[in-house]
Chains A and B, each alone.
Chain A
Amino acid sequence: MRKLFVVVLCVGLLLSGVASAQETIRIGANLEMTGAVAAYGQMIWEGINLIREIVGDTVLGKKVELVLVDNKSDKVEAANATTRLIDKENVVAIIGPAISGSMLAAGPICEEKQIPIISATATNPLVTQGKKFVFRACFLDPYQAAAAAQFAREDLKAETAAILSDIAQDYCVALGNFFKEEFEKRGGKVVVEQHCKTGDQDFSAQLTTIINANPDLLYVPNYYTEIALICRQARDLGYEGVILSADGADAPELFSVGGDAVEGLYHTAIWDATKGLNDIGQKYIDRYKEKFGKDPNMFGALGADAYLILINAIERAGSTDPVKIREAIEDTENLDVVTGKVTIENGDALKPVVVRKVEGGKFVFVKTVTVE
């Protein structure tokens, strides 16, 4: 009698497992929830959940289940998380890590196992190069660097620049190099290049050398933790020139840690977070302001974009077959997402670069840069 009960229980569990698998669509979220860039992953997760409140959480008549795995801002963990999401959690698509280094680790696994992965904010060109299953919702670094260099030369009138980049991150190194190339192409001169490492708290040695070379502009293409401290220490050591950063600066920690040292900081970003370019964008901004009491950030918005692109692709594909989803993502054209319209080409999103400035403890829109 007991044996029969156990058998019935097992069969029942099996059936319920199978049944639930047919009722939900599982999408993985491989994000940095702890570690050096925890703010990015957490903001992206916030954005995804917020957009789900606005547009609902179903597609093709089924509920979309998000499976979150924390990759701890570490490349190795990002790779493990990807394998786990695909093999154990049976996801049909993944919203990938925020940072390029981790995407470079996760991408090849998705390519091999043929599960599409889209990153909200990884900007390094190598992330999607030569791959069919890897996508991104944001612009690329060569383009971002060109826009930064153009702004630096034409608007800020900088003749000389110094670069302080984090050598432990693929994103920072590449962006620093692209900026140097673009800045010098436009007639500027990079007078000194110094490096730091993720997690460093002391930049006094490097900044002293930089200040000695007297550059007009200091380019810091790093992540928010380092940017805030670098700005503080640069100002304390007497640097009075302009500091220009990249999309990594968009985190509230920049203000809470940087304080008045980040006033006047410029950075290249993906959108002006104060006004929506379309209906869904405005809805997102309003909802975010209602819920959190401040302007939305780029990471959340792009996380929402990545989710919208995926859902739209699943709908157009009419199936949950990862290969069909991949084809549909590649065909995304002029889709209305939070940050405007998006078209996917060769895995990349074509997005304009916006320059913003820190004024009064928040980001203020300066201009949209079209690279010549």
Chain B
Amino acid sequence: MSWVTFFQQLMNGISVGSLYALLAIGYTLVYGILGLINFAHSDVFMLGTYFAFFMMVIFLLPWWLSVLIGVALCAVVGMSIERVAYRPLRNAPRISALITAVGVSFFIENLGLVTVGARPKGFPRPDLMKNVYVLLGARIQGVTFWVPVISILILFVLFYIVYRTKIGIAMRAVSRDMETTRLMGVDVDRIILYAFALGSALAGIGGVLWACKYPQINPLMGIFPGWKAFTAAVVGGIGNVVGAMLGGFIIGLAEILIVAFFPGLTGYRDAFVFTILIVFLLVRPGGLMGEVVREKV
């Protein structure tokens, strides 16, 4: 393999990885605050693309406005899911909330299949994302530049919110000890709603950017990216936002490079990613940047 080809494959890996990273941040955020893996995250991701798509196609709004509205609608959907499906189970064992999350996921997917149909639709994308640039002999799409930039911007915004605002302090307090926070007079329900709104908005942004790179949307499009992003979040350390980004890049690169170096193993590409998940859960469940929680006696 020549250096140019290797560099191209590296860019391919970073391109996919940055999309996983963005999605992983959403998973990790909700887990960090609530201890809940929101399996419906991948479906809010899908809804984001459909909302934006319909804004563009039915209301003929410009791309940036459609995306903004789409993301806002995702936040609303996220909050509704929390209110309807997760809040009643706030005090139930964790497994109930987990199963409900899976249920919500199936519900949204099948609702999509029934209403918009199973056939994929082409997602219109702006030239900014579509155009291909040549760098050091490798061809890189606009979206490959923008996704890491946007992800890092989001990280900055998140850090600002979580560490410098009152809502952020409240979120950190809720994740530490929900009951005590409630006793302190904080409206815990509202804070959790905000967390979900934030996480779902991230899913929406992730969805739109994913559709910019792979302009084909269908109701089941979130399933595999969701699972891989979840793996990325675990690898990076679930609960740790920077870890999620790191995990995303690792998974993306791993996926691409295994196909680049061992083309005969293409069929095992997804299996490879999930094997990494299993290995990490067995050997280092805290992930690369997570803390290993020791039982205090």
Contact = CB atoms under 8 A, between A and B. Distances in A.
A39 interface: yes
A257 B122 contact: yes
A70 B242 CA distance: 44
A209 B119 contact: no
A255 B119 CA distance: 13
Interface string A337-370: 0000000000000000000000000000000000
B215 interface: yes
Interface residues of B, number: 33
Contact of B5 (A34, A197, A212, A232): A212
A238 interface: yes
A229 interface: yes
Contacts of A194: 263, 266
A10 interface: no
B107 interface: no
Contact of A237 (B8, B256, B259): B8
A212 B263 CA distance: 14
A237 B139 contact: yes
Interface in A188-236: 194-197, 199-202, 204-206, 208-209, 212, 225, 228-229, 232, 236
A241 interface: no
B15 A253 contact: no
A168 to B, nearest CB: 7
A256 interface: yes
Interface string B244-288: 000000000001110110010011011000000000000000000
Interface in B107-130: 113, 117-122
Interface centre among A194, A201, A202, A209 (most CB of B within 10 A): A202
A197 B120 contact: no
Given A34-B113, A228-B216, A236-B132, A197 B269 contact: yes
B122 A259 contact: yes
B271 to A, nearest CB: 10
A280 interface: no
A253 B218 CA distance: 11
B215 A232 contact: yes
B200 interface: no
A199 B259 contact: no
Contact-residue bracket for chain A: 35 or more
Given A253-B122, A256-B122, A229 B214 contact: yes
A296 B266 CA distance: 36
B2 interface: yes
A21 to B, nearest CB: 31
Contacts of A68: none
Contacts of A229: 214, 216
Interface in B125-162: 132, 139, 141
A257 B267 contact: no
A257 B215 contact: yes
Contacts of B221: 201
B118 A33 contact: yes
B263 A206 contact: yes
Nearest to B270: A197
Given A38-B117, A256-B121, A257-B120, A201 B214 contact: yes
Contact of A35 (B118, B260, B263, B267): B118
B16 interface: yes
A42 interface: yes
A238 B12 CA distance: 14
B9 interface: yes
Contacts of A167: 266-267
A1 B141 CA distance: 79
Nearest to A207: B12
Given A33-B118, A237-B8, A256-B122, A208 B260 contact: yes
B163 interface: no
A120 to B, nearest CB: 17
Contacts of B267: 167-168, 195, 197
A209 B260 contact: yes
27 contacts: A35-B118, A168-B267, A195-B266, A197-B267, A197-B270, A199-B224, A200-B269, A202-B12, A202-B16, A202-B214, A204-B9, A204-B15, A204-B256, A205-B256, A205-B259, A206-B259, A208-B9, A209-B5, A212-B1, A212-B5, A229-B214, A237-B8, A256-B121, A257-B120, A257-B121, A257-B215, A258-B122
Given A201-B221, A202-B256, A236-B141, 10 more contacts: A38-B118, A168-B267, A194-B266, A197-B267, A202-B12, A205-B12, A225-B120, A236-B132, A237-B139, A257-B122
Which 7 residue pairs across A and B have the least CB separation, nearest first? A38-B118, A256-B122, A204-B12, A205-B259, A34-B118, A257-B122, A201-B214
Interface of A: 33-35, 38-39, 42, 167-168, 194-197, 199-202, 204-206, 208-209, 212, 225, 228-229, 232, 236-238, 253, 255-259
